[in-house]
Structure 1
Amino acid sequence: MTTIRRWVYGRWFVPIVSGLLIIGSFIASGVAGSDFRGLDTTTLLADALMIAAAVVAGAPIVKKAVDALLIRHIGIDLLVSVAAIGAIIIGNYWEAAAVTFLFAIGHALEAATLNKTRSALAELVAVAPDVAVVMRDGEQVEIDAGAVRQGEIVLVKNGAKVPVDGQVVAGSGALDEASITGESIPVEKNKGDQVFAGTISRGGFLHVLATGIGADTTLARIIHRVEEAQDAKAHTQSFIDRFSAWYTPAIMLLALVAGLITGDLVLALTLLVIGCPGALVISIPVAIVAGIGRAARNGILIKGGEYLETSAKIDVVAVDKTGTLTEGRPELTDVVVLDPSMSRAEVLSFAAGGEAGSEHPLARPILEAAADEGVRYDTPESVTPVAGKGLKAQVEGHRVLIGNQALLDEFGVDDDNAAQRAADEFARQGKTPMIIAVDSRVAGVIAVADTIRADAPEMVARLHEAGVKKVVMLTGDVQLVAEAVAAKTGVDEVRASMLPEDKLDAVTEFQRQGHTVAMVGDGVNDAPALATADIGVAMGAAGSAVAVETADIALIGDDLLRLPEAIGLAKRTVSVMRQNIAIAMITVLALLAGVFAGGVTMSIGMLVHEGSVLVVILNAMRLMRRRGGAPRSAQAAAASIRGEDGLGDADRDTDRDTDRDTVKA
């Protein structure tokens, strides 16, 4: 019973029943029958079946037209309804049945193909786990995935789906993260690694501490974002909606005038059918759904049609340095002692003591170097960031300054330029220098180097191929370090020693020059510039809930090559939108001309019209095909997906490039 009910309410029930009635009418008209009281029974039966076909197919159309009129909206359904009812009144039963039958088929095809283009969302929903195995009272208990509680230990066995976002606390294994990152290469997971709901175990056994459950998982946020995005309208779609609002009444007026002038009611009704802007109305949303769906499959989340359309116009891309062009995995490379009374270990000890109270990502390599060398350091009594210059800390009763020359000047520390010369030399080598001063004396200079991402030069090259005129680095690092990174990556322009407000001003400046600007950050950092840019792009959204929720575009998995891919896909989507509009308009104009010239009937017009709808949809579905690109190595892809940048989630969500960026970026 359920199967029958599902079929009756399915999209193909009405077209099939209507089509069978039309076939029955043709069969009846071809069978010889006897007269009954002067009436041809076969003709009556054939006409009755044809009218029934029109009623079956036309009833849903008329209902939609009436519902639209109740909210003062004149749409395509009204045109078809008037034409079909008029055709029945004047005895053109075949025309009425053909028009409504073809329109019903068009609706069914439209729904089916739109569902096909939404397949990326369906696939995401399909990978959502149903059950979870948790440890409760020392025993394994299988429960619904939605019933897992925060902080519980979830067991992930070979072949099982991970039901929560969490952290591995024991065990090891390999997870297929394609549903989250778009990469099909299984990723090794060990203690301390992050895992995401919806990923699938390809081997091993993991104990996972649940940190994100239910709607708070990365997968749930991605599904929500894609669902919203596919329903969001682009500027062009909004224009088409406004265009249809006056176009439909105009066609009705044209049909009325033509009928009054010529006295030909069939001509007027045919004009109503021919003038249906169905292909025009569907041309934009089907392209948007297909483009956003393809992007989601590739690990690119686009917030909506408006942002997809804007992305096609991007000609300037602004990026920060740390964690974007570089790995975000810096190491301490040099310690230069400038105070003869101090040893290398003492300089490093004061540096580590000051950084121990800092949340800046570059604090970690200093602390790690001190630990590796066995250098003892004390936790600071206080730490005060100094915007754009560095920090001041109180360590073991001493005032410790870690920063640049401007920081020394602010606190009146004399320097014979030895520290500045050492800092400049490190900067020329592409390293980030930090001057260490203890009380009123310069103790030394330390240098930290961050590795440039292997795919950063390729990203810049591909952006240029995608039509981006200029790639600009906006960084708080010193000029020499920024230029060293730019030289290796091919960045067109460098703006260094920038505070957050300076980056905002730079984005605004490019916009005033007429550019469409994309700003690449982490969705939390550089908030003013990201908000001001035409398109804000967040890197590594799988690790940041804020990025998925706030960015215009979120690139899952920290893969730089997703950025040019996103822009290229946006350009192809806009191109398909324009093609679809052209197909729709040319079809309508050609049919209208054919009606006035003679030869185009109501049924033929509707057939061609529905054919144009199908062509528009199929054209948009080309976007669903995956385009080939230079694949990344398995090792590089896995490292990027795992987020092996030497930073924890908290570090990634702190300000990488503010306050002290002039010194450290």
Structure 2
Amino acid sequence: MTAFRTWRRGNWFIPVVSGILILASFGVEQLASGAWNITVGPQWWIDAGEHAHGTGHVFTLANAFMLAAAIVAGYGIVVKAFRALMVKFISIDLLVSIAAIGATIIGNFWEAAAVTFLFAIGRALEAGTMNKTRAALATLVAVAPDTAVVLRDGGQVEIPASHVRMGEIVLVKNGAKVPVDGQVVSGAGAIDEASITGESIPVEKTKSDHVFAGTISRSGFLQVLATGIGADTTLARIIHRVEEAQDAKAKTQAFIDRFSKWYTPAVMVLALVAGLISGDVVLALTLLVIGCPGALVISIPVAIVSGIGRSARNGILIKGGEYLETSSKISAVAVDKTGTLTEGRPELTDIVVLDPARKRSDVLRWAAAAEAGSEHPLARPILDTARDEGVAPDGIPGTVTPVIGKGIVVDVDGKRVLIGNAPLLTQYGITDDAGSAVVADELAAAGKTPMIVAVGDAVIGVIGVADTVREDAPEMIRRLHAAGVKKVVMLTGDTRLVAEAIGRAVGIDEIHASLLPEDKLDAVAQMQREGHTVAMVGDGVNDAPALATADIGVAMGAAGSAVAVETADIALMGDNLLKLPEAIRLAKRTVSVMRQNIIIALTTVVLLLVGVFAGGVTMAIGMLVHEGSVLVVILNAMRLLRNTQGATTMPKSERTPSRTAEPAVAER
């Protein structure tokens, strides 16, 4: 009984019941062969029965079944049309309602039943398809964990995942879902993060690594400190973003909606005029039916939902239909260097001593003492090396003065220490007698970021820091070009020599170096003035102005970052560069499907109109073809749900044999 009630509330209950009544009508007519005619009403019903079936001046049992089918299928349509009129909106349902009621009045029971039955089938197909195209959202909801095992009072307690408290220790065993966002405090294991990043290969997790709710343990045992629960988890934010994105309208869809508001009344006027001029009521009603813009109205949203759903499955979050459409037009991509083209994990490679009175350890000690007060990525490799070599600073320096784009000036034990580039020395009036600029250029030409170290008014040495070029950076650029991007531009605050070394390694088309944040904004604006639709890939900190100016802002490795998920136009959940060209290709496919659907819908309406005026297209045939076009549009959009992009990881045969490509590091 419960199953029946569920089915009765479903999309297909009304079409099925109406279809059974239509079959019953045909069955009765065939079996009776006119013998079961039953007169049940006044003369106008009798005349209507003759008009409908040509079986005599009687209202047949077959007609009764056909009328019942029209009422069952048409009742909901009429109600929706009336409700729309109450808010001063002329909907497609109104066209069908008028046509069906008019057909019933003139005795065309078959036409009335056929029109409402086929329209009900179309609505059921649309609802079912929209549910299917939202499969990515359903999949994300399905991976949300139901239970969690936590440590409480010295023992393991299984509780609903929603009852986990912040700061609790959660146990993640082999095969279990991770119930919270958190940090591993003990243990090791492999986690399948496909639900978050779209990557199918499990990721090894050890102490201090982060894990995300909804991911699955494939091996090992982890103790996880809960840092995100319930709606604060990455998975919850992704689900929220996909919900919003699938409901957001593209510019084309907004245009279609405005077009439909004028188109539908125009069809009604055309039908009225045609009926008055020709005196043919059936012609007018037929025009109402075939003029329904159903396929046109569904053509855009079904494509958008499919495209965004497919991208979400692949770990690519697109903010909405408008951004999906804009992404299909991207012709220039601007990328930050550090953390995008490079790994973002710099290492100290060179210490060049320029003061004969100093030792290598002296240069490292003064550099580390200065960088102890810096939050910049350059500081970490210097401090790590100083610690390893036993010259790490005991505390933090006094006054720390960052000089944007040049370096920092600090007070260490009463002495002024500068660490940065040659313009920093010039700004503070330090003469470069030791030839540090020449050494810095040599390091930069090798792809290393040089930092000149000066104590007081004397240069004592130069430190070189290097980062590794990402293996997939050259392949990303190749795929971007294949996807139709005309140029890929590097925007970096690092020196030109370093930038050029990286550019040669990865195949960058254009390089802009030694940029301040506002310079990056100007570079993006200049590309837009040249006619490009620009996507900017950056970390959202020093790149924030350029990201805001770009037509599309792209956040890399957004898993776990609430800000990136909520604000970026496109958020690539995994730290995989190849997701970017995949996102652009998917956007182009989606827009192509949208255009195809519009052409299919409009062509169908035009051909039907010609058929009506030329003769031969009845109301039922018109609705059948119309609903057929709706089905074609839906099936065409559902092609987007298939993953035709292939693997986004780079084949082993295409990878660089070793990870020693020219390095780079974060700009000051």
Distance in 1 between the 2:477 and 2:102 partners? 61
Q: Deviations over 1:147-202 (max 9, x none)?
A: 11111100011111001010000111111111011111111111111100000111
2:538 is the counterpart of 1:521: yes
Aligned partner of 1:319 among 331, 335, 350: 335
RMSD: 1.8
**Deviation sequence 1:255-308 (CA, Å, 0-9, x none):** 000000000000000000000010000000011011111111111110000000
Q: Which residue of 2 aligns with 1:649?
A: none
Is contact 1:248-1:276 (8 Å) kept?
A: yes
Shift of 1:43: 4.6
Quick check: 1:288 aligned with 2:304? yes
Alignment partners' CA distance in 2, 1:37 and 1:376:
105
Alignment match, 2:6:
6
* 2:182 maps to 1:147: no
Which position in structure 2 is the counterpart of 1:178?
194
Residue among 591, 600, 604 paired with 1:587: 604
Which letter maps to 1:162?
A: V
TM-score normalised per structure 2: 0.94
Residue 82 of structure 2 aligns to a residue whose secondary structure is: helix
Aligned to 2:288: 272
Long gaps (5+) in structure 2: 42-55, 655-664
Which whole-Å CA distance do the structure 2 matches of 1:370 and 1:435 have between them? 17
In 1: Cα distance, 2:388 partner to 2:243 partner: 48
1:610 equivalent to 2:614? Answer: no
Q: 81, 87, 91: which one pairs with 2:107?
A: 91
- After superposition, residues 327-406 of structure 1 pair within 5 angstroms as 327-378=343-394, 379-406=396-423
SS in 2 for 1:543: coil
Following TM superposition, by how much is the alpha carbon of 1:569 offset from its aligned partner in structure 2, in angstroms? 0.7
In structure 1, what is the equivalent of residue 22 of structure 2?
A: 22
Partners of 2:239 and 2:594 lie apart in 1 by 24
Q: Distance in 2 between matches of 1:634 and 1:551?
A: 29
- Deviation of 1:18 after TM superposition, in Å, equals 0.6
Distance 1:175 1:118, change over 3 A: same
Q: 1:590 to 1:34 in 2, by over 3 A?
A: closer
Task: Tell me which residue corresponds to 2:132.
Answer: 116
Indicate which of 267, 276, 283 corresponds to 1:251: 267
- Does residue 106 (structure 1) correspond to residue 122 (structure 2)? The answer is yes
In the alignment, the residues of structure 2 paired with residue 226 and residue 551 of structure 1 have an alpha-carbon distance, to the nearest angstrom, of 13
Distance 2:617 2:12 in 1: 28
* Residues 448 and 466, structure 2, Cα contact 8 Å, conserved in 1: yes
Partner of 2:658: none
Equivalence for 1:504: 521
1:463-474 superposed matches below 5 A: 463-474=480-491
Structure 2 equivalent of residue 299 of structure 1: 315
| Residue among 163, 169, 177 paired with 2:179 | 163
Question: Paired residue for 2:204, among 188, 194, 204?
Answer: 188
- SS of the residue 1:87 aligns to: helix
CA deviations over 1:330-385 (Å, ceiling 9, x no partner): 11000011122221111101111111111111111111111222223232123221
Deviation string 1:399-420 (CA, Å, 9 cap, x unpaired) is 1111111111122222126111
Which position in structure 1 is the counterpart of 2:238? Answer: 222
Q: What residue is the counterpart of 1:200 in the other structure?
A: 216
In 1, Cα distance between equivalents of 2:258 and 2:527 = 32
* Distance 1:584-1:413 versus aligned 2 partners, 3 A rule: same
Counterpart in the other structure of 1:652? none
Indicate the residue corresponding to 1:535 in structure 2. 552
Contact preservation (8 Å) 1:29, 1:43: no
User: Conserved in 1, the CA contact under 8 Å of 2:38 and 2:60?
Assistant: no
Match of 1:445 in 2: 462
Give 1:436's aligned residue.
453
SS at match of 2:644: coil
Mapped partners of 2:652, 2:405: distance in 1: 36
Could you tell me how far apart the structure 2 residues matched to 1:580 and 1:255 are? 25
Does structure 1 conserve the Cα–Cα contact (< 8 Å) formed by 2:354 and 2:434? no
1:494 aligns with 2:511: yes
Instruction: Show the counterpart of 1:562.
Output: 579
Alpha-carbon distance in 1 for matches of 2:380, 2:340: 18
Q: Identify if the C-alpha distance between structure 1 residues 396 and 338 changes in structure 2 by more than 3 Å, giving closer, same or farther.
A: same
Q: Does 1:134 align with 2:145?
A: no
Distance in 1 (CA, whole Å) between partners of 2:37 and 2:306 is 57
Q: Describe the SS at the equivalent of 2:176.
A: coil
Q: For residue 270 of structure 1, give the secondary structure of its aligned residue in structure 2.
A: helix
1:572 maps to: 589
Check the 8 A contact 2:582/2:648 in 1, yes or no: no
Within 2, Cα distance between the matches of 1:436 and 1:636? 43
Aligned to 1:457: 474
Amino acid at match of 1:579: Q
Structure 1 residue 595: Cα displacement = 0.4
| Long gaps (5+) in structure 1 | 638-655
SS of the residue corresponding to residue 542 of structure 1 reads coil
Count of residues in Structure 1 that have an aligned counterpart in Structure 2: 641
Which whole-Å deviations, capped at 9, do the CAs of 1:490-521 have from their partners, x for residues lacking one?
11100000000000011111111111000001
Q: Deviations over 1:298-336 (max 9, x none)?
A: 111100000000001000100010000001011100001
**Shift of the alpha carbon at 1:30?**
2.5
Matched-pair identity in % = 73
**Per-residue Cα deviation, 1:466-503 (whole angstroms, up to 9, x for no partner):** 11111100000001000110011111100000000000
Structure-1 separation of matches of 2:197 and 2:36? 72
